[in-house]
Structure 1
Amino acid sequence: MATYDPFRELDRFASTLFDPRRGPRRMPMDLYRDGDHYVLTADLPGIDPGSVDIDVDGQLLTIRAERTLTAGDGVKWITREREAASFLRQLNLGQGIDTERISATYSNGVLSVTIPVSEKAKPRKIEVSTDAESPVIRAHESADAPQPVEQ
């Protein structure tokens, strides 16, 4: 009779979820709106900034990055817990984003992506104007002006 061990199953699930050989890992990120732009910050420690690839296809923003670990020939590892990995994150930008002005910086292991709101999507005031084309007629200026009827 086989027994079910929930901890063994949880360990098996966690090892497959975090196994770098199983494909790209997700990068932890924060996303917030600050005025007329969104700011995305993602943790990418140990990443060569040259390996970061950000592209926009329609309304899909894709961020890819690689962490490679190099060691000289003849190195004898004592312990090796850091692994080479691929990172991937995709976001649907939706409407109202100015995809032409998206910018990114990488500093101290954090990638920051600034995503501006398009001019069309920004809140704006609608000016109320008066009909300047029709002249305002005052009663004392014209004999054709309606006059009150006295009874």
Structure 2
Amino acid sequence: MAMYFDPFRDLDRVTSTLLDRSPRVMPMDLYREGDHYVLTADLPGIDPGSVDVDVDGQLLTIRAERTVRGQEGVKWITRERMGGSFLRQLTLGDGIDRDKISAHYDNGVLSVMIPVSEKAKPRKIEVTAPNMSEQQKEITVEASE
């Protein structure tokens, strides 16, 4: 196996690492399943204790930190797994139950369950008419179920 050494590529990588202190973006998926939304975000190699999920008003913020482990006496051949901060922010709509949001981290994947509030869920409205008897109302309700 031949090793190819490109000092300019390595210099570019080192320079961008030293100068780039902005938070990294985490890839995520978001979908609705029944009466809640599910957000999954990839955070491989992240210590679960560094993951922070908070809600402030309508803003959901996810923060995480990957610490690069340095080893003395080690000569790195290549080092592409960057450390640093990860950040993602989402604006929540009015139909979300913010008090019941929950999060779980397993095998490098953060899952955030975002429930729809009761007032935003679809509901059936009973239709009545002034001349409708109680028996007709019961038949109407049974037929709609």
TM-score, with structure 2 as normaliser: 0.72
Please tell me whether the aligned partners of residues 20 and 85 of structure 1 are also in contact (alpha carbons under 8 angstroms).
Answer: no
Q: What's 2:138 paired with?
A: none
Higher gyration radius (CA):
1
CA distance in structure 2 between the partners assigned to 1:36 and 1:20 by the alignment: 44
Paired-residue identity, %: 74
Shift of residue 86 of structure 1?
0.8
Q: What's 1:49 paired with?
A: 48
CA RMSD of aligned residues (A): 2.4
Shift of residue 73 of structure 1?
3.4
CA distance in structure 1 between the partners assigned to 2:99 and 2:126 by the alignment: 29
Please tell me whether the aligned partners of residues 46 and 64 of structure 2 are also in contact (alpha carbons under 8 angstroms).
Answer: yes
Shift of residue 25 of structure 1?
1.0
Q: What's 1:90 paired with?
A: 89
Q: Does 1:26 align with 2:11?
A: no
Q: Deviations over 1:49-103 (max 9, x none)?
A: 1000111000110000000022343333333221212110000011110000000
Please tell me whether the aligned partners of residues 20 and 86 of structure 1 are also in contact (alpha carbons under 8 angstroms).
Answer: no
Distance 1:58 1:124, change over 3 A: same
CA distance in structure 2 between the partners assigned to 1:37 and 1:48 by the alignment: 27
Shift of residue 129 of structure 1?
4.6
Aligned residue identity for 1:91: L
Aligned residue identity for 2:82: E
User: Aligned pair count?
Assistant: 118
Q: What's 1:71 paired with?
A: 70
Q: Does 1:120 align with 2:111?
A: no
Q: What's 2:107 paired with?
A: 108
Q: What's 1:136 paired with?
A: none
Aligned residue identity for 2:122: P
Q: What's 1:39 paired with?
A: 38
Please tell me whether the aligned partners of residues 27 and 41 of structure 2 are also in contact (alpha carbons under 8 angstroms).
Answer: yes
Please tell me whether the aligned partners of residues 20 and 83 of structure 1 are also in contact (alpha carbons under 8 angstroms).
Answer: no
Query: Greater helix percent: which structure?
Result: 2
Please tell me whether the aligned partners of residues 51 and 65 of structure 2 are also in contact (alpha carbons under 8 angstroms).
Answer: yes
Q: Which contiguous aligned blocks of 4+ residues in structure 1 show a shift greater than 6 angstroms?
A: none
Q: Deviations over 1:5-31 (max 9, x none)?
A: xxxxxxx9xx96x87733101111000
Specify every segment of 5 or more residues in structure 2 that has no aligned partner in the other structure, as ranges: 1-11, 132-145
Aligned residue identity for 2:126: E
